[in-house]
Every structure is written in structure tokens, then in C-alpha cells.
Structure 1
Amino acid sequence: MARTKMGEAECKAAMAKLPDWNLAGDFKSISRRFTFPDFNHAFGFMTRVAMEAEKLDHHPDWANVYKTVDVKLNT
């Protein structure tokens, strides 16, 4: 199935369903900061996401500092 690039209006409408995520100014990516009780919870989250990302062949750009994980997704 061929996919088409979403326009500005479509991006904004889709973002209304993702209130905790931020849309980049160029409309090419979304980002979110996740905060956990401690490093073990943060790392566990990253491990679970990594397994799903690998299945979908859609890998996030992310960073982890102690109990926070910053995630950026784009296509």
C-alpha cells in the first residue's frame, strides 16, 4: 500500500489524538519525553520499545539519561 505524505492540516488533526507528543515545526517528526521512577524502569521501557521497533522495522531516535527517555519518531 503506497503512503502519501501528510499535509500540515492532517498532521495537526492527527496530533490532537496524541496530546503528550510534540510535532516538529517542519511537520517531519514527533517527539516526547517519558519519565520513570528510576533507571531500571526507563531501561525496561526502552527494551520493550526496541523489540517492537525491530518487528516494525521503524526505529526511534532516542536518548536516555537516568530516569528519562526522549523519543523522536519520523518517517
Structure 2
Amino acid sequence: MDRLDEEAITTRLADVPEWRREGDEIRRTVTAPDFRTAIAIVNDVAEQAENLNHHPDIDIRWRRLHLALSTHDAGGLTEMDFRLAARIDAIAADHGA
């Protein structure tokens, strides 16, 4: 998958407003209602990540999930990062986070 240029990244970030760019990554923190829900979110994200064969970095701190996306093979952000970000947003919303 091809790396996105700066204009495309800016455009795609507008579609996922919960995410922020940090260098060659996009990041989001999700706060779940409780720890069990946080783990359910991680499980649902894992399923989507496997389906897309694109895997986020996830740091779990009680009910807070810190997620980071980048396409390491492409050396930066690709359409796949934003596709998974949108799915993660939907999963978080489904779980009330």
C-alpha cells in the first residue's frame, strides 16, 4: 500500500476527528466505562485488525486504551491506517466509549 502525501493525510484526518497525528503515526485514546469493556474493545479491535491484516499498537491502562496506527512497511501513513481508525471509532462507540 502506498504512503499518503501530506494533503491526503490532512483530508483523511478530518474523517477521524478523535485521532491526532504524531509524526508517522495517528493516535487515539479511548476511555471505556470499565476494565471489562476496555478488554472487549481490544478483542473487537483485534478481530478487525486480523481481518484487515493491519495491527495497531495498543497500550492498556485500566479502562484507558492508547492506540497508534502506522504502516511500517510503507514508512508512514497509508489508507489502511485510516480504514482501521474508522473501524476502531465504530467499535468504541458501540461500547459506549
Give yes or no for the alignment of 1:15 onto 2:13.
yes
Ranges in structure 1 where 5+ consecutive residues have no aligned partner: none
Q: Distance in 1 between matches of 2:3 and 2:49?
A: 21
Q: CA RMSD in A?
A: 1.0
Candidates 56, 61, 64, aligned match of 1:60: 56
For these two proteins, the number of residue pairs brought into alignment is: 71
Structure richer in helix, relative to its length: 2
Task: State TM-score, norm by structure 1.
Answer: 0.87
Question: Share of identical aligned residues, percent?
Answer: 31
Higher relative contact order by CA 8 Å / sep ≥ 6: 1 or 2?
2
> What residue in structure 1 maps to residue 38 of structure 2?
42
Task: State TM-score, norm by structure 2.
Answer: 0.68
Runs of 4+ in 1 over 4 A off after TM superposition: none
Ranges in structure 2 where 5+ consecutive residues have no aligned partner: 72-97
Structure richer in strand, relative to its length: 1
Q: Which has the larger radius of gyration?
A: 1
